[in-house]
Amino acid sequence: MPTAKFYEEPIDPYLPQNGNRGYRVSRYELELQYKVASNRLAGKATITAVTTAIRTKFALDLSQSLTVSKVTVNGSRAEKYAHQRGKLVITPQEKIPSGGVLSIVVQYAGTPKPIRGPWGEVGWEELSEGVIVASQPNGAASWFPCDDHPSSKASYRISITTDSPFYALANGTLMRKQVKSSQTTWVYEQSEPMASYLATIQIGQYERRRIGREDVPMNAVVPPRLRAEFDHDFARQPQMLRTFVKLFGPYPFADYTVVVTDDKLEIPIEAQGISIFGANHCDGRRGAERLVAHELAHQWFGNSLTIRVWRDIWLHEGFATYAEWLWSENSGGPTAEQLAKAARHNLSRLPQDITIGDPGPELMFDDRVYKRGALTLHALRNELRDTKFFDLLRTWTAKHRHSSVTTEEFTDLASHYARFPLRPLWDAWLNEKTLPELSPRS
């Protein structure tokens, strides 16, 4: 296939190779076949979009580990396509008017592997028996062609066919499960808009069961050997959900599923409607409960409300970290004030060379973004006091439910709840490197 130059101004300077112009995706339909033993993936992706400009060609993000065999656009074979440097550039036979329907079907196959970057390896990864997909920030292209940027949110249907002994999980509601010979097909529908990095597949020797009796169904997908440890370590999750609904507003999705892999994971990972933990997070002593709270909170802050650009990552991680402190405060542990003081003390002993409102791509997952982001919210809470602060959070999650957000939108909304201008607070906590003092609760 001939090569083609295709460069445009980056959508996000933090990830200049990711995201594409000229269209907005509304839906992905993925039909996947996966062989666990050989780590072989074959896929057919149907991508429905609306064009935003008249163009001669369109691009999708797709790893070079996967080989494209056929591309059609609006029912006709593409005039040509080129796949290089992680971009699949497609030239339709005819120009499509602005505002027109763009339906692209890509057939592909290969041996998927994670995408390497400054943050390690992300995306599709083999486990000892199965698969974990953790794509933040740019790993979605490791397993399907997409517009891989957080502001690009769409509905999904994911069909995954794999070997019958394995349980296969994807985002959304299980619509159909069909066993045929040695293969099982699982079909999931994710109707709420979802960023591509939050799409996931989890495959393993798991059992699935309902936990708790909440209005929001909560599920566990766990290896049988870890059932007792899970039941102890995650026992307070229903209470945690009730606490967060009270503080943040209604849970934004149809249900919530926790996966525990049979392998160790360095950190847990969020996906839309799903959180993934390693076997090491089930220690029988609730040693990871703060992380359980953190990942659950991401369903509001990160998955329902998703940042438009990666610069604003504190809107995900600062909020989820503050949720850890709120859970502690509401469950008999140290108060958020106590945890904030301890966090500030610890941060004061670290280099003060980061502005969390724009940390730069290399530092966007630095723990200081998490902790100082949480401190920013605690400083705001101390300024607004509890009633207005939690009213603000509930309004924030309701106003931007299932959409994209920016720091400016949050600070603008917060100004309506304040007696005095908040600009000094935002400048000190988000825009300056020097760590501010934490003002006492009024």
Point out the annotated binding site for Zn(2+).
294, 298, 317
Q: What is the 3-state secondary structure (H, E, C) of 231-249?
A: HHHCCCHHHHHHHHHHHHC
Radius of gyration from C-alpha coordinates of the chain: 22
**Interacting residues of 376 by C-beta distance below 8 A, sequence separation 6+:** 314, 318, 356, 425, 429, 430
- Return d(Cα 216, Cα 252) in angstroms, integer: 10
- Return d(Cα 259, Cα 269) in angstroms, integer: 10
HSE toward the beta carbon, residue 178, CA cutoff 13 A = 9
Active-site residue list: 295, 370
Residue 301: DSSP 8-state:
B
Q: Catalogue the E-assigned strands of 292-418.
A: 305-307, 403-405
- DSSP three-state, residue 420: coil
HSE toward the beta carbon, residue 382, CA cutoff 13 A = 18
**Interacting residues of 380 by C-beta distance below 8 A, sequence separation 6+:** 389, 414, 422, 425
Tokens representing residue 422 in the block: 């908040």
Which sign does the torsion angle of CA 281, 284, 285, 290 carry? Answer: positive
276, β-bridge pairs? 259, 269
Tokens representing residue 53 in the block: 């400009």
Asked if 247 and 390 count as a contact pair (C-beta separation under 8 A), the reply is yes
- Reference 389, options 416, 424, 356; nearest CA is 416
Q: What is the 3-state secondary structure (H, E, C) of 141-180?
A: HHCCCECCCCCCEEEEEEEEEEECCCEEEECCEEEEEEEE
